[in-house]
Structure 1
Amino acid sequence: MSYELQALIGPAELVAVAAAEVPAARPRLLAQGLALIPATPEFLAAFRVGDEATAAPAAAVSPSGTAASAGFDWFPGGLERRLAAWSKAGPIACVEADYFGGTGTQRAAVWADGRLDLGPITSAELEPFPPEGSPISRALRRLGARVTEGDDAVRDEFDAVGLGAHRATVSWVSAG
């Protein structure tokens, strides 16, 4: 069984503002006051249109230590500028996960106060998560997500906000 996710996650109010600026955005509510925007090809195209710099590969437009140059292959450079702008109103994360048969990778970064604030954090295939948790759970914690004590069904922030509800990025769009 596989799981893949490429999305932006933030407080629901902030995600609503971001979605209002990008017609292709399809925000979806999560638990704990958070929401996500699936990083669909249509959404990402909005950050490439009319700007030759953002149409280049992400690493080419974000050369030093940014999320785009740390393995977010799908990440257009124009998106990084928007994340920085949106984050002036509150933290917003870029997350990705790609699993098949229980093994895979995760990557996460959080922007706050107009700059990259956390990460990018990456877990490689077969690499165990450190005690502080997976990259996505750490990013969610930075956004305010919490695991409720005594709820044995919830293992981490990933589960607590409901990211297991769909197994593919495009499934979040059709779940509307």
Structure 2
Amino acid sequence: MGYVLQGVIGSAAALQPVAGLVSAVVVRLGQGLCLLPMTGSLFDEVTRGDAVDSRFALCERFPPGFDSLLAGWSRRGPVAYVEADFWGGTGTQFAAVWDAGELVLGPIVDGLDAPPAVVRRSAISQALRRLGASAHRHIDEFAAVGLDRHRHVEDWLEGQS
């Protein structure tokens, strides 16, 4: 079974500016964090221009100009853009974190065909730690905040208004 995720993670305060976006749906995660799934319609709505910064060229759904928008949102609190795409334990993760208007972590890209001890230091877990998440009694921060609840971007939208 596969897993696909593209979206922005931050506190409710950091993601407050998305209230002005028609396509935005914010989903509560654990540890005070929220997820803004990057749907096709949100991608279209936040695209600014047609050139993607080369640092984000490996991303599946990172809209052109989105880094400037994320930098602005991060003035309210740190935000991370994350992507994961894997099947049967192999695949990739991408993460970048902005804080106080600056890119402060990443972009980090890593494969998930590594042994479990390495996966604990995955790109998304590193970003979540930068946002204040803790693995606590879970295998990693990814599971601790509940990113394992759904397996596809669209699944996060079910039951949300």
TM over 0.5: yes
- Structure 2: give runs of 5+ residues left out of the alignment: none
Cα offset, 1:130, TM superposition: 4.1
Distance 1:145 1:40 in 2: 24
Report the 3-state secondary structure (helix = DSSP H, G, I; strand = E; otherwise coil) of the residue aligned with 1:165: coil
Q: Which residue of 2 aligns with 1:147?
A: 135
Q: Is the Cα contact below 8 Å between 2:89 and 2:113 reproduced in 1?
A: no
Q: Which residue of 2 aligns with 1:8?
A: 8
- Structure 1: give runs of 5+ residues left out of the alignment: none
Q: Deviations over 1:16-64 (max 9, x none)?
A: x13212120000000000000000001111123xx5xx2x252xxx24x
Distance 1:99 1:39 in 2: 17
Given residue 102 of structure 1, which amino acid in structure 2 is its aligned partner? G
Q: More helix by proportion, 1 or 2?
A: 1
Q: TM-score, normalised by structure 2?
A: 0.91
Cα offset, 1:82, TM superposition: 0.6
Q: Which residue of 2 aligns with 1:119?
A: 106
Distance 2:11 2:25 in 1: 15
Q: Which has the larger radius of gyration?
A: 1
- Match 1:105 to one of 92, 96, 99: 92
Structure 1 pair 175–133 and aligned structure 2 pair: CA distance change class (3 A): farther
Q: Deviations over 1:92-118 (max 9, x none)?
A: 000000011111110100011111110
Question: How many residues are matched?
Answer: 159
- RMSD (Å), alpha carbons: 1.7
Given residue 92 of structure 2, which amino acid in structure 1 is its aligned partner? T
Q: TM-score, normalised by structure 1?
A: 0.83
Q: What is the aligned-residue identity percentage?
A: 42
Distance 1:8 1:131 in 2: 20
Q: Which residue of 1 aligns with 2:149?
A: 165
**Deviation >6 Å, runs of 4+:** none
Report the 3-state secondary structure (helix = DSSP H, G, I; strand = E; otherwise coil) of the residue aligned with 1:89: coil
